[in-house]
Amino acid sequence: MAGANVKTFSTANFEADVLKSEKAVLVDFWAPWCSPCRMVAPVVDELADEYVGRVVVGKVNVDENGPLSSQYGVMSIPTLAIFKGGKMVDRITGFRGKADLVKMLDSHS
């Protein structure tokens, strides 16, 4: 379950909520059956709380939103990507600790 500050993105709202966002957006591409995704989820929740007002944080369930995964070349999960100005500007794949994600966020927020 996502934290209070974590949005749910889908093919229906991705353009409006991610691509047209005035702030940087951290997108967690995940699936419920993915163990590393479940491991990174609490870290994503913490970051959403810590960066509230500076970075939008949300998740895309790849099982329910396959076209988004294909469009952005997500081949493995979890993939955490930063979108800014309507484009993906950074990404990491696989479980990473909070320090790596903070470094990525700080370089784009």
> Known catalytic residues?
34, 37
Using left for φ > 0, alpha for ψ between -120 and 50, and beta otherwise, residue 5 falls in: alpha
Residue whose token pair is 């996502």? 2
- 6 within 8 A of 58, measured Cβ to Cβ: yes
Whether the upstream peptide bond of residue 32 has omega within 30° of 0, thus cis, is: no
Q: Is 27 helix (H, G, I), strand (E, B) or coil?
A: strand
